Amino acid sequence: MEVVIVPDAMAGGELIAEAVAALLRGKPDALLGVATGSTPLPVYQALAAQVRAGSVDASRARICQLDEYVGLPAGHPESYRSVVLREVVEPLGLGADSFMGPDGTAEDVPAACAAYDSALREAGGVDLQLLGIGTDGHIGFNEPCSSLASRTRIKTLTRQTREDNARFFERPEEVPHHVITQGIGTILEARHLVLLATGAGKADAVARAVEGPLTALVPASALQLHPHATVVVDEAAAAQL
């Protein structure tokens, strides 16, 4: 695992955007796995700026989601589909046809999970998966004790994650209890994993993921198993390394 310490979130965003741009220059139709939450926004802004400046052509890029809430109505502004369309797909000038994600509105959620897991493989696999990290060490929505071999499936959020994500909703009780997430085994199939963590609130989770033992109690520690994993942290998030 490669750990890169940058001065601040903006620098982390620019560094990762450049890695994505380099990938797209060599493979214009690369499949980019994107994460939601506040942390990766500087990456998407820096990448969109590169596209506007003409330093990278992202017109053939394909985008895929890491996870999704279950039960939010289609078009809800905080469904991860809506977030990814708003923060990534539209700013890059892509159409909805270049984007794939799990169906959080499906009647048969387990079938939707299996279909998405297969769809990722059929699309040739994820070239670069961007990840954030939860304060409890989760990646995607793989909460502590998730199997390190898990596939895309339905999960129940912990109270802490629902509290952490309540800021995106008008009322805390609106945060869904259930989600679909790529499993840890699914995530590990991406060719390059890039985890970005910024701010002092992530310092403990980063230290446990990077320097602690490999354990299902800290899902992000699974990156230690991957042959090409990059962890980009700002100085505040690196404070306990």
| Enzyme catalytic residues | 67, 136, 138, 143
Using CB under 6 A as the binding rule, whether residue 44 contacts ligand GLP is answered as: no
Min dist. Cβ of residue 53 to ligand GLP (A): 26
Q: Where are the beta strands (DSSP E) in the chain?
A: 2-6, 31-34, 62-65, 67-69, 99-100, 128-131, 153-156, 178-181, 192-197, 229-234
Distance CA 134, CA 155 (A): 15
Smallest gap, in angstroms, from Cβ of residue 233 to ligand GLP?
13
- Rounded to an integer, what distance in angstroms lies between the CA atom of residue 115 and that of residue 224? 28
Type of residue numbered 231: V
Is residue 132 part of the contact set for ligand GLP (CB under 6 A)? yes
- Quick note: the x/- pattern for ligand GLP over 151-190, rule CB under 6 A, is ----------x---x-------------------------
The nearer residue to ligand GLP, 39 or 150, going by C-beta atoms, is 39
Is residue 36 at the binding interface for ligand GLP, with CB under 6 A as the rule?
yes
Minimum Å distance from CB 59 to ligand GLP?
26
> Three-class SS of residue 65?
strand
Token duo for residue 109? 């959620």
Contact 133, 209 (CB under 8 A): yes
Residues that bind ligand GLP (CB under 6 A): 35-39, 66-67, 132-134, 140-141, 161, 165
